[in-house]
Structure 1
Amino acid sequence: MAEKKLIGVDLGGTTIKFAILTNNGEVQQRWSIDTNILDDGAHIVPDIIDSINHHLKLYQMTADQFAGIGMGSPGSVDLKAGTVIGAFNLNWKTLQYVKRDIEAGTGMAFTIDNDANVAALGERWKGAGENEDEVAFITLGTGVGGGLISNGQLIHGIAGSGGEIGHMTAQPGGYLCTCGKHGCLETIASATGIVRVARDMAEEYSGDSQLKRSLDDGDEISAKIVFDLAKVNDPLAIMVVDRVTNYLGISLANVANLLNPAYIVIGGGVSAAGDFLLQRVTKVFKENVFPNVRETTQVRLATLGNEAGVIGAAWLAKNVMASK
């Protein structure tokens, strides 16, 4: 009897990514649709159901060929109930009965977790985490998310907020965060945070710098522009990158001192800066970590890119279903 396949869904504010995978996590089919957030996000779940059913018909497959569907979602996820609330980039302000509706619409078992946790599972299973039981994942994008895996299982905490690395206090009394407190790592090391750091440092900087000129001219800049300029030795850009990677390196050292994972994996759009980012973060990390941890925990870049979410969601489907 053939092993049952898995469906992974990565729900984002702009696109919804889907994949059909083998039981071993090999991606066989991939597709995506736009996320329709109109009418308080009321179209999102029906669109997911329709897309899955359409593609099963297209591939001449049936629901009984699948172990289940896993999904990563923004917002506060109730794992047992399979509900989501507070996913504001989806316009989901009220409680969404995602599990109930998708199971009814597809005839398949369904499980869901926070999107950063699910990306962590993907990187752990098939990416830079090399299927180790102890892995920490941080994603540097518009915000900063995280997922912590210990003994092969996600750390959720008592209320589902385990792994909120982005809201560790990196700079006491620093920038106001969207969460309401000051100095969160997200306010410094996210793509938007890096731009804010650059703007503030440019105001105090009086030397020659292309980054300074661009900001003074009112040009739009991005985290990528800051890193690209730093790579060609723009003095202000280097100062910005050094400040950002200092706070990031110290924060990751704190994570490592608590958990001593095999790997801390850095993903998200900012991680596209590659070794230039990794080398600077690793230097600060090693200066601030407990000696035994320094020898056993390695900081590395994510490898799965946009596939991390669907692969992690498939792992969720496989393992949560198996444990029931």
Structure 2
Amino acid sequence: MDEKWLVGVDIGGTTIKMGFINQNGEFIYKWEIPSNIKEKGRHIPADIAKSIDQTLNKLGQEKQKLMGIGIGAPGPVNVGTGSVDVAINLGWENFPLRDLLEIETSLPVIVDNDANVAAIGEMWKGAGEGSKDLLCVTLGTGVGGGIIANGEIVHGINGAGGEIGHITSIVEGGMHCNCGKTGCIETIASATGIVRLMIEELSSTHTASKLRDFYDERQTLSSELVFEVANEGDELANKVIEKVALYLGLALSHLANGLNPEKIIIGGGVSKAGDALLVPLKNQFIRFAFPRVAQGVELAIATLGNDAGVMGGAWLVKKRLLSKHENVPLHL
């Protein structure tokens, strides 16, 4: 009998990324569709099911070819019921994603938080391949994260494990965060946080900067632009990056001191800065981490990019469904 395929799905506020993946972690086919947020996102399960059917038809395959669907969804997820507690960008609140999609597809469905699923993807086929103990931090519009201990995602008592972005970094006088607290690392190390810090420097000093014209002319600044001019020796941009590295390195050192991971993977759009971020981050991490912890960990940039969530979703299916019926190791 032909090997069955795994289906990975990564739901975002703008697009839904999907892929058919074989059991060795190789893409058979990948695609994406728009996220339909009309009527509080209630059409999304049907849209996913319809797109899967259309793609199977395109490839000349039957539904029986698929083993199941693994999904990364934004926001806190009740992994027991597969429901999403809240996903503001999609309009979801206590949304029974697993149940609705199982009805639409007649396939088993597994749901987890999108950052957790991306971490699993990096563990299986990305920068964390071969590691069972790792931290994965995604630096995008916000800051997400996944913690994997002995090959298992840490969910915690009510599914909030791995909320790395909401570690308090500025104890007093920090910026308000969308979570309701102030001073979270998300307000500093996210793409929006980096731009905010750059604007603060431009508005509070007269130091020369290649970005000053952008600020004065009210052009759009971006974190990519901050890193670009920093590489060219811009004093203010480098000051901002050092501040980001300081607070992020401190937060990661605290986590590492408690978990003693083998790898810390940095992903998300901000990670495209590469060594411009990684080098100062490593310096600050080593400064704050317990020496033995620092000796045992490798900091690396994620390698799967936008495929991490889809790959992680496929692994959820492989691990939790196939292992029930065949002699499949829990950790790869």
TM-score (normalised: structure 2): 0.95
Preserved CA contact (<8 Å) 1:83 1:97:
yes
Once residues 147 and 157 of structure 2 are traced to their aligned partners in structure 1, the CA distance between those partners, rounded to angstroms, is: 14
Secondary structure of 2:107's aligned partner: coil
Preserved CA contact (<8 Å) 1:6 1:22:
yes
Preserved CA contact (<8 Å) 2:73 2:113:
yes
Once residues 94 and 167 of structure 2 are traced to their aligned partners in structure 1, the CA distance between those partners, rounded to angstroms, is: 27
Aligned position for 1:284? 284
Secondary structure of 1:47's aligned partner: helix
Gap runs ≥5 in structure 1: none
Moved more, 96-105 or 112-121: 96-105
Gap runs ≥5 in structure 2: 325-332
Once residues 189 and 321 of structure 2 are traced to their aligned partners in structure 1, the CA distance between those partners, rounded to angstroms, is: 36
Once residues 227 and 316 of structure 1 are traced to their aligned partners in structure 2, the CA distance between those partners, rounded to angstroms, is: 35
Secondary structure of 1:210's aligned partner: coil
Secondary structure of 2:184's aligned partner: coil
1:24 maps to 2:2: no
Secondary structure of 2:241's aligned partner: helix
- Percent of pairs identical after alignment? 47
Within-5 A mapping of 1:136-215? 136-173=135-172, 174-215=174-215
Secondary structure of 1:86's aligned partner: strand
Displaced runs of 4+ in structure 1, greater than 6 A? none
Preserved CA contact (<8 Å) 1:70 1:111:
yes
Aligned position for 1:100? 99
CA displacement, residues 212-271 of structure 1 (integer Å, 9 cap, x when unaligned)? 332133221011111111110111111111111111111111111111111000000000
Once residues 75 and 249 of structure 2 are traced to their aligned partners in structure 1, the CA distance between those partners, rounded to angstroms, is: 27
* 1:288 Cα deviation after fit: 0.9
* 1:199 Cα deviation after fit: 1.2
Aligned position for 1:112? 111
1:89 maps to 2:86: no
Q: State the one-letter code of the partner of 2:216.
A: D
Instruction: Provide the alpha-carbon RMSD of the alignment.
Output: 1.2
* 1:273 Cα deviation after fit: 0.4
Aligned position for 1:261? 261
CA displacement, residues 158-181 of structure 1 (integer Å, 9 cap, x when unaligned)? 010000000001111211111111
Aligned position for 1:67? 67
Q: State the one-letter code of the partner of 1:26.
A: E
Secondary structure of 1:72's aligned partner: strand
Q: State the one-letter code of the partner of 1:166.
A: G
Once residues 300 and 28 of structure 2 are traced to their aligned partners in structure 1, the CA distance between those partners, rounded to angstroms, is: 27
Once residues 148 and 128 of structure 1 are traced to their aligned partners in structure 2, the CA distance between those partners, rounded to angstroms, is: 14
Once residues 73 and 277 of structure 2 are traced to their aligned partners in structure 1, the CA distance between those partners, rounded to angstroms, is: 28
* 1:78 Cα deviation after fit: 1.2
Moved more, 264-273 or 77-86: 77-86
Aligned position for 1:130? 129
Once residues 13 and 127 of structure 1 are traced to their aligned partners in structure 2, the CA distance between those partners, rounded to angstroms, is: 24
Aligned position for 2:329? none
Secondary structure of 1:52's aligned partner: helix
Once residues 139 and 264 of structure 1 are traced to their aligned partners in structure 2, the CA distance between those partners, rounded to angstroms, is: 11
Within-5 A mapping of 1:302-317? 302-317=302-317
TM-score (normalised: structure 1): 0.97
* 1:317 Cα deviation after fit: 1.1
* 1:63 Cα deviation after fit: 2.5
Once residues 258 and 3 of structure 1 are traced to their aligned partners in structure 2, the CA distance between those partners, rounded to angstroms, is: 41
* 1:323 Cα deviation after fit: 5.0
Once residues 262 and 185 of structure 2 are traced to their aligned partners in structure 1, the CA distance between those partners, rounded to angstroms, is: 22
Q: Alignment length, in residue pairs?
A: 323
Once residues 42 and 82 of structure 1 are traced to their aligned partners in structure 2, the CA distance between those partners, rounded to angstroms, is: 15
Within-5 A mapping of 1:210-225? 210-225=210-225
Aligned position for 1:34? 34
* 1:45 Cα deviation after fit: 1.2
Aligned position for 1:228? 228
Secondary structure of 1:90's aligned partner: coil
